[in-house]
Chain A
Amino acid sequence: MTVSALTRPGERDRLIVKLAELDWVFVLVLSLIAGAGALMLFSIAGSSWTPWAAAHVARFGICLLLMIALAMIDIRVWFALAYPVYGLGLLLLVAVEAVGDVRLGAQRWLSIGSFSFQPSEVMKLGIVLALARLYHGVSAERARLSWWLLVPALMIGVPVLLVAHQPDLGTAMLIALTGGAIVMLAGLSWKVIGAALAGALAVIPPFVMFGMHEYQRQRVLTFLDPESDPSGSGYHILQSMIALGSGGLLGKGYGLGSQSQLNFLPEKQTDFIFATLAEEFGFVGCVSLLVLYAAAIFMALRTSYLSHSHFGRLAAAGVTATFTLYVLINGAMVMGLAPVVGVPMPMLSYGGTVMLTVMIGFGLVQSVRVHRYAEVTSGKGSFV
């Protein structure tokens, strides 16, 4: 296929062309990360495909196919579905408030038949789509500083408060930060950004002391001084840091990490899988993984540059922001730089929900890439 052929009308709508337009290097990077995850899950199960490694590989395979399928969907369909998805997410959050299951002391799960899921995951994508859709039809002037900004503030605030009430502070924070990132990318005035940051800094300490649940406060206080309670709530952080530190430059060797193999490391297959990798493969392994993550982030971010539509840009950048936050928050937590919050390392940690969410998000990013020249109308209420 020649470059000029792509300029032919309709050429870009052909499936084969669309597939070729996918960022296959990006797919490779994601596969490497998921492969590293499978490798570690195989190791900590005592060199066994069960219970985690095989399921992880299978899930990634399905999610990858889903991502490619979603990338084929026209960006205008995404555009049209933006508000409905957000609305559905909001509805589900209200529903979970009313009839959700209580698991581990938090009301996060909604069961439909035998299938149960966390509606907050829908909202992670919904907020990106809805804000991108919103800003698509807004002038730079308004986006910078105006009373209109109350609309995005409300769109972010309502789901955040609902999720925080479950209570799931980690997800609430993630949604808030993702939303904030999009608002920032759309051109919010530095004055407002500065004021919001200052306000947040002022509000956090009293919120930690008075607004949090006991276990949440404990986590935060433990983070500030992990060795105050090494066998209690400081245990997670301390054991994780021991696993990391004892890995050294080259690690203890595959399958030889005492911290993870002997169960000293809690949640070793999910939130703390990075520590497992760090223990067995050392600094070299960790940095290699971080490079992969950085590559994924920059490739996704670059996609947002390519888009000709404002919706595409903001949507791709929003998903990138979510993914970046996942990586940074989990990394900081595992390394003892942040309190323990239930945020897994995307693609590496075992767990279907987050992988599904992230891969759907990347489906959107790839759709933006594939349809980067598509003209998205900004007409009000226009469907497709």
Chain B
Amino acid sequence: MTQPAIFFAEVNERQGLFHRRAILLGAFAGIGISALGARLAYLQLFETQRYEKLATSNQFNFKLAPAPRGVIVDRNGAVLAANRPNFRLMVARDKGMDTEATLKTLASFVPLDDARQRRLLKDIHNAPKRAPVPVMEDMSWEQFSAINVRAPELPGVTADVGEVRVYPHGGAFAHVIGYVAKVNKDDIDAIGKAGGVPDPIMLHPGFRIGKQGVEKALDAELRGRPGAHKVEVDANGREVGHDVDGDIPAVPGDEVQLTLDVDIQNRALEVFGEESGGAVMMDCRTGDILCMSSAPSFDANRFVRGLTGAEYRALSGYERKPLLDKCLTGLYPPGSTFKTMTALAVLMAGIDPEARVSCGGGMNFGGRYFHCHKRGGHGSQNLHDAIKNSCDTYFYSMSLRVGPDRIAQAARAFGLGQTFDIGIPGQKKGIVPDPAWKKRYFSKNEAQQPWWPGENLSYAIGQGYLQVNCLQLAVMTARLANREYKALNPRLIKSVGGKERPRGSDAPDLPFPREHIDRVRAGMAAVTDQSQGGTAWRASQLGLGNILMAGKTGTAQVRNYDSGGSRGKGGTWGLRDHGLFVAFAPIDQPRYAIAVIVQHGMGGSTAAAPRAREIMRTALLKDPELISGIQKPLPMPEIIPDTELDTVPAVSNVERTI
């Protein structure tokens, strides 16, 4: 910098004052800038970590991704519930976006009529900003890829691939497995009421919650642990990037193996046809439930997608009640199948099984005539005959000597009137009445409280207050047939995530002498024995050589016939008798026990027994041990050398495709 040689100093007071004050200004600036520097040092050197964290939480969001739901398989590993990819189209509202025009554009790719567009427009505007609203599910691959290619030009539109539950067997397992559906407000409220906090994954648009059966009972296990995508977002919450390395992988849900057998279950639904009812089959060695079928059924896949109002009305309005589980929830009088229990009570009371009662078509008691189902009467009957012929008069007569408490004791010992820990909800206990129960039940009405001796008669033939469900009948039969005389428990869930659930055969002995149970079994064997002419011998022939089935028929009234009418053998469907049949096979070494109820099917031997036989055949024909006893190896066909084969190139290197 150049300086003049001669310095004209204007020395006056003002200048001196200014110079001093200007130093102050410089000092002020210096201190100010230093203060800024100090503040910077504090923020950038000492508080860096804190602000880095805040910057990262600004920049990255974790977007929850539902875990693949656990697969449900049958006892042989056949898939009953699985997941399949679902190409979804979603639209979210965003700043500066014309939703209506976007939907119009999308309509050229996927079918969206005007009415649907209007409804979607409303949904999108009611949804929070940038919350994706599903526009279409289950797009074809062509639609999905066409939209994905155009996605950059369509703000707010996302096409992604999620998973959707699929039930390959449609309706056959609908009541046992249940179904999954979107989370609704009730689900969230229920968690809140139980004092819990809803899992944030529940708010994910792709998340489905188990609503019934196994899907509901084991929802937590099937759900797995959701993963998360690490996405980079801008200040407006738009995704600008995806950090694949930062993703948290989802832990898939546990595989659930049921004890059911897909073939038996499918056959059971098949044999019901148009009829309504339930069939439960158990392995009477282990307690495993092989089949638990309720007819008519419904396609659970429809529930996953969301039923239309019309579909739901059709299902709920149908008088045969497809939505009701007739194995667990439906309660029915067991009718004559219950005579097995009465027979045990007779033996328990110390009555000689050879003691005879003469049946002349019924008996008078208390001023009322109690009919036997056979108008002409069975003649002289001992216990064995009475079971074989299902003679009502014998049991009427014996019930007066046995009393209700013994009958109830037998019924309870065989699993009636209770629920079982099979792992799914919806079981009803039913009623096993006795004087104590009646007193409790009519606690408000004293006149009804006493147990009238006449009630013993209807109790003995499985009518009156007695109500059971189909599973209980199957358990009863399985316990009767168990060769170890154990109070077998049913098991539906074989294993969860590879961990086996306790077997049903680890159970205490039945509190009855073995010869009593043997006598009842023999009676049941006679029911299906042609040579002895039992009630169900025609309908119970398995056609499998010397593998035979023992059973007991039952025809349960749904109303009192004294008021007249067609005695339950016809007329209005809802007033017809229920047909029941319980059975086990093979007789000598029981493996399978079954209970079939055909609601308003009119006869145990006509409606229930043939169906039980078909289901039983399926089970027996699948049993490897039994099959090996019947099957002979096929003769090997003689191999005739084909000259033309020589011209075909070698196939050894061709990869096999499945």
Contacts and interface: CB of A to CB of B under 8 A. Distances in A.
Nearest to B14: A140
A328 interface: yes
B3 A3 contact: yes
Nearest to B38: A335
B400 interface: no
Interface in A13-64: none
Contacts of A286: 37, 40, 44
A5 B146 CA distance: 81
A249 B43 contact: no
Given A7-B4, A184-B21, A259-B58, A283 B45 contact: yes
Interface stretch (A76-84, A122-130, A293-301): A293-301
Contact of A242 (B33, B54, B236): B54
Contact of A298 (B5, B21, B29): B29
B240 interface: yes
Interface stretch (A87-95, A212-220, A308-316, A349-357): A308-316
B220 to A, nearest CB: 35
If over half of A's interface residues share one DSSP class (helix, strand or loop), that class is named, otherwise mixed; here it is helix
Interface in A170-197: 181, 184-187
Chain B interface bracket (under 10, 10 to 19, 20 to 34, 35 or more): 35 or more
A123 to B, nearest CB: 21
B58 A139 contact: no
B17 interface: yes
A262 B13 CA distance: 57
B44 A7 contact: no
B48 interface: yes
B532 interface: no
Contacts, number: 165
B36 A290 contact: yes
Nearest to B6: A7
Contact of A4 (B5, B14, B21, B55): B5
A178 to B, nearest CB: 11
Contact of A139 (B14, B40, B41, B233): B14
A305 B15 CA distance: 9
A248 B54 CA distance: 13
A346 interface: no
Nearest to B9: A308
Interface residues of A, number: 56
A331 B34 CA distance: 11
B58 A242 contact: yes
Interface stretch (A100-108, A152-160, A200-208, A319-327): A319-327
A140 B13 contact: yes
B561 interface: no
Given A4-B5, A244-B51, A305 B22 contact: yes
Interface string A230-246: 00000000010111111
B421 interface: no
A258 interface: yes
A241 B51 contact: yes
Nearest to B44: A283
A108 to B, nearest CB: 27
B32 interface: yes
A7 B3 CA distance: 10
Contacts of A313: 15, 18, 22
Nearest to B20: A187
A181 B24 CA distance: 10
A304 interface: yes
A148 to B, nearest CB: 14
Point out which of B15, B45, B51 has the most chain A C-beta atoms below 10 A from its C-beta.
B51
A282 to B, nearest CB: 6
B5 A3 contact: yes
11 contacts: A6-B2, A241-B43, A248-B44, A259-B59, A283-B40, A286-B37, A298-B26, A301-B26, A317-B25, A331-B33, A335-B36
Interface of B: 2-6, 8, 10, 12-15, 17-19, 21-22, 24-26, 28-30, 32-33, 35-37, 39-41, 43-45, 47-48, 50-52, 54-56, 58-59, 232-236, 240
Given A246-B48, A249-B44, 8 more contacts: A6-B4, A242-B51, A244-B43, A245-B44, A245-B48, A286-B37, A290-B36, A298-B29
